[in-house]
Structures are given as structure tokens and as C-alpha cells.
Structure 1
């Protein structure tokens, strides 16, 4: 069998990573007298790594993050009030598995958005689907969807991901319609045990015990 024919057949079954490297792989295997089983394992691992990489890129694209930063970029010394222990617990993504919610509250500039993005990045790396949306964009999309008659579509889109992040909730005023849509989204996510992260600079104090 010619290398060209082998390349074509590899491409036909979707093994494009191997098809692109087959000449080098065959040359290395022949030179080093690699057993058939080891050679097959090598090309399988190459394909798995490539597909995992592509899937990760797709999840990151769908997450619509405003920027890509991990927890390693966060300066805990600059914000000593933030508990590293609690942050590390969230990074396990157990809250997603349990369908729980995370609230990040505090004034502007303390790193709420950075943390929410870092949590989303970790979730995406672990294989979960995620979607980030700012509260003002949520409101604007509700208005556009209402005019276009597509409100059910956006509700489904916001209800579908394993993790939904709503940034700066409370900073932008919600009208009755967008507030109702937010309630519907949260209700649907609750029914399907969808996890939620909310960042807000609105902190309510209460004397109730």
C-alpha cells in the first residue's frame, strides 16, 4: 500500500492528525523497529490528544469569556480578604456536579470577574460546558429576542450549559421583562441542576437572626 493511499484512507475516517504525520511516524517506527501494538497505540494517542484539544477550543469559544485567565494569574496578596481555601474548593468543580451556585460579592476592583473567568476556565478544561454573560448584555439580548420573537431560543441557550456565569448582577437595572426572563432561566437551571456563578457589587445587610 502506498503512503498516499494510506493518507487518503486515514483522512476518510477522520484521522487527520495521523494523516498529516504518517510519513514521519512510519519512518520512526521502521528505524526503531517499533512493535505493531506500540505503533498503533502511538497513533491512537495522537488522535485522542488532537480531538481533546479541538473539543477544548470549541468549549472555550462557546463560553464567550471576556478574556482568558486562570487562577494562577490571580494575586491573592493583593486581595487578602479572599479565601484561597474556598477558591480552591470551587476549582474542584464539585459545585457543578452538585448543581450548586456560587456568589461573588464585593465592590468593583476586587477581582470578581477574574475569579468567575478562572472558575469557568477550569470547568471547561475539565470537560464542562460554560457560558459567560454580563448583566447588561443579558438585558439587551432579552429586548432583542422579544422584538424578534426568539425569547424561547435565548432561554434555552442560557439554560443549556453546565455552568452559567452572570457578571455584575445588580449593577445594571433590570426591567420587568428581563427580570422575568432571568427568573425563568434560573428556574429551568434549578430543575436540571445547572450550576450558576453570579458576581455582584450589591451586598445586602440584615439584622434578622
Structure 2
């Protein structure tokens, strides 16, 4: 049977992946005496899996992760202060549905960013949207947006995804504009959008980070109210 017409119609449906695989699928089905229903199921499954993979790749690209690492790459024995069961609970994604936050605290080099990325990657795999930003890049974006009168655009951008990941809070001091912008984002996401935050500073030091004890307290009230905190006390990987 000439499959050219089938290929043409599959491509009209937007099923280019299946169209390219059709000859091999037909050959395998013929060899294995596969029923019509089984063949159709295989056809549909392959196309769905392909489209889901494409969508995942798009979500990962839009998330702007600095690199991709899974939880399987994390060395738990090296960080005995971390309970793998608590981490696995986060990986279920329930905190996203509940609009809760994950806070990763600890000195430089203990794996906070790795954990944040692996948690974000799992969320993306589950179909959620995410956006990653370092605190320093956020400060720079806010300064530029303030000069151009586009702060509201920044707020909308970081309120949009299901999960916001802000890394390295505490390495650089926030100025007034970036501190108040972040406060507005946190307020709008409160009980609505989940966040993962990493910091090398304890909560008592956040007043210095944001240059305002009252503002820092207001932020922490909203962040910590529905949250899970991991204090990582092990050695540095570096």
C-alpha cells in the first residue's frame, strides 16, 4: 500500500512526527500481527508523547534555568542535614497547588541552587510554568525598568508563572526600587503562586538585605506563613 496519502493527511493534522515514523510503525505492526486498536493506540501514544516532550522543552526554555539538574544528581549523603523524605514531598508538587513556598537557607556551596533547579524541573515536568531569576539580575532588571517606567511590567512578569524561583538572596543588597518591587510581587503571589527562594542569610539578617527592617518583616510574614524551610548546614561542594 502506498502511504503517501496517509503521510500527507497526517501532516495536515499537524502530526509530522507520526508521519515521519509511519513506515516503521506499519512494518512493526505487520510483523507482530498487531490489531487495529493496538496500532491506533501506539500511533496516538507516540504523537502525544512527542508533543508533550516539545511542550516540556518550551516550558524549560521559558523558565530560564541556568542549567538542568535533577534530584537524582544531588549528593544527599554529603548533606546529612537534609531529609530526603522532606525533599521528596516537595517534588510531589503539592506546594504549588496550595500556593506555598520553599525556602532553602545555607552558606555558599551547599547545593541550594541545585535543589531549587531540580525542584523547578520536576514542576515543569508536571506541566507547571516556572521562571528562574537570581536576586542580582532581578535588582538590575528593576533598575532598568524604573528608568524606563516599566516596573508594572516587571511585576506582571514575575506574578505570571505557577512557580517563581529567586536564587542567591543576600549576596547583593537590594535598593529601594527593587526591594519594593519584590514586596509587591510577594504580596500578589501570597497564597496564589508558589515560590522557591534561596539565601545565604538567616531571616534575622533580611532587614540588612532589603535596607528596611519593616519591609523585610512584611515580606517574611507573607513568605513564611505557608512555607517549608530547609536549613542546609553541611560542607561546601566547591
Matched ranges for 1:123-162 at <5 A: 123-162=123-162
Residue aligning to 2:64: 64
User: In the TM superposition, what are the counterparts of 1:27-176 in structure 2 within 5 Å?
Assistant: 27-176=27-176
- Cα distance in 1 for partners of 2:203, 2:47 equals 51
Q: Deviations over 1:158-202 (max 9, x none)?
A: 1011110111112211111111110111111116x1001111111
* Cα displacement (A) at 1:21: 1.0
Report the Cα distance in structure 1 between the residues aligned to 2:106 and 2:33, rounded to whole angstroms: 62
User: Conserved in 1, the CA contact under 8 Å of 2:146 and 2:177?
Assistant: no
Q: Distance in 2 between matches of 1:127 and 1:133?
A: 20
Instruction: Go from structure 1 to structure 2 and tell me whether the alpha carbon gap of 1:32 and 1:86 turns closer, same or farther (over 3 Å shift).
Output: closer
Q: How many residues align?
A: 205
Question: How far, CA to CA, are the matches of 2:142 and 2:88 in structure 1?
Answer: 34
Render the CA deviation track for 1:125-158: whole Å, top value 9, x for unaligned: 1111111100000011112222333322221111
What SS does the corresponding residue of 2:169 show, helix, strand or coil?
coil
Matched, 1:178 2:178: yes
- CA shift, 1:8, in A, is 1.4
Give the secondary-structure state (helix, strand or coil) at the position aligned to 2:77.
coil
CA RMSD of aligned residues (A): 1.7
SS of residue matched to 1:197? strand
Q: CA deviation at 1:27?
A: 2.5
What's 1:198 paired with?
197
* Residue 204 of structure 1, CA deviation: 3.8
Match of 1:34, SS? coil
Residues 71 and 31 of structure 1, relative CA distance in 2, 3 Å threshold: closer
Distance 2:29 2:81 in 1: 56
TM-score calculated relative to the size of structure 2: 0.81
Structure 1, unmatched stretches of 5+, are none
Large movers: runs of 4+ above 6 Å: none
When residues 204 and 150 of structure 1 are mapped into structure 2, their CA distance, relative to the original with a 3 A threshold, is closer
Say if 2:24 is the partner of 1:24. yes
- Is the partner of 1:133 in helix, strand or coil? strand
Q: Deviations over 1:24-78 (max 9, x none)?
A: 2222333433222111111000111101111111111111111111111111121
